[in-house]
């Protein structure tokens, strides 16, 4: 389905009936990452998947896609669908967008699941890495995508999940150059939103990979100390929906159904 918004198309899928669940993909991903889970999730819930700005079939809005701008497009879609309250599940960058949405619309959040994600802003070192990534994208974005995707998986899993990795790379290659750069620029300047862990009264859960090559697992554990966030630890990398597929599904079903 398509929503026309500010001169571009926002692509989304809308499946099932019941409590609205908003699924937000990560950097270089799109709605296709959720396909294996929709049949089960949509049995008792309304599942809405959105291609974020510059990803999948959604267009670009300028040269910097801040997390706030991405959240605005999510808000526009929910208004279009007349959804006033929903549970959000965001993978990596999708988690950043969910937090930006929650900051602006706290009453619209009935549940928040951050999956392989963080409320922290980029460190100076990470910001420099984003700048280097932007240069690499401009030089050869296909090579950048291939390397970036492989590096999301736990090293020991890269052979085991080689077919899945190739599928992720194939989907990621559809991301336009402008969309890649705009997302990197936006992630680089995102705010620290750890205070939201205390401010949002709704149910919250954090799904982490203990061997995530991208995020500092121990830092994230410290991030949620003295909060009411429930922690789910999975044994592998950044791509929990692939590396720990069954456990991931079981845990998000638990998250949706328990409360």
Inform me whether the pLDDT recorded for 53 exceeds 70.
Answer: yes
Rounded average pLDDT over 32-46:
97
C-alpha span between 168 and 234 (Å, rounded):
20
What pLDDT, on a 0 to 100 scale, did the predictor assign at position 199?
Answer: 85
Nearest by Cα to 252 from 129, 109, 124, 114: 114
Yes or no: say if 20 and 84 are a contact pair by the CB < 8 Å rule.
Answer: no
> What's the CATH code of the domain at 115?
3.40.50.1820
Yes or no: say if 240 and 207 are a contact pair by the CB < 8 Å rule.
Answer: yes
Q: Is the pTM of this model over 0.85?
A: yes
Beta bridge partners of 193: none
**Which residues span the domain enclosing 247?**
2-258
Inform me whether the pLDDT recorded for 251 exceeds 80.
Answer: yes
Provide the percentage of residues in the chain whose pLDDT is more than 70: 100
Rounded average pLDDT over 127-142:
97
Rounded average pLDDT over 36-43:
96
Inform me whether the pLDDT recorded for 83 exceeds 80.
Answer: yes
Q: Rounded to 5 degrees, what are φ and ψ at 239? A: -105, 65
Inform me whether the pLDDT recorded for 259 exceeds 80.
Answer: no
Rounded average pLDDT over 32-43:
97
Tens digit of pLDDT for each residue in 170-227? 999 999 999 999 999 999 999 999 998 888 888 999 999 999 999 999 888 888 888 8
> Mean pLDDT for the chain?
95
Q: Which of 92-106, 128-142, 159-173, 213-227 has the lowest mean pLDDT?
A: 213-227
Look-up of token digits 């954090």? 206
Domain count, the chain: 1
pLDDT band at 257 (very low <50, low <70, confident <90, very high): confident
């Amino acid at each position: 389905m398509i929503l026309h918004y500010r001169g571009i198309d926002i692509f989304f899928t809308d499946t099932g009936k019941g409590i609205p669940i908003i699924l937000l993909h990560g950097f270089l991903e799109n709605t296709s990452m959720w396909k294996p889970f929709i049949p089960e999730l949509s049995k008792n819930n309304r599942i809405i998947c959105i291609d974020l700005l510059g990803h999948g079939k959604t267009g670009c809005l300028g040269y910097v896609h801040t997390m706030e701008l991405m959240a605005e497009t999510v808000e526009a879609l929910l208004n279009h669908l007349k959804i006033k309250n929903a549970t959000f599940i965001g993978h990596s960058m999708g988690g950043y967008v969910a937090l930006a949405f929650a900051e602006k619309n706290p009453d619209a959040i009935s549940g928040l699941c951050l999956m392989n994600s963080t409320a922290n802003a980029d460190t100076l070192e990470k910001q420099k890495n984003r700048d280097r990534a932007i240069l690499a994208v401009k030089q050869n974005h296909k090579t950048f995508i291939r390397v970036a995707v492989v590096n999301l998986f736990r090293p020991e899993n890269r052979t085991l999940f080689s077919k899945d990795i190739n599928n992720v790379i194939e989907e990621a290659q559809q991301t336009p150059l402008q969309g890649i750069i705009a997302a990197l620029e936006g992630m680089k300047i995102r705010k620290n939103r750890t205070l939201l862990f205390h401010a949002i009264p709704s149910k919250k859960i954090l799904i982490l990979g203990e061997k995530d090559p991208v995020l500092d697992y121990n830092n994230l554990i410290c991030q949620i100390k003295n909060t009411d966030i429930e922690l789910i630890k999975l044994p592998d990398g950044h791509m929990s929906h692939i590396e720990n597929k069954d456990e991931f599904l079981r845990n998000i079903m638990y998250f949706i159904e328990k409360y």
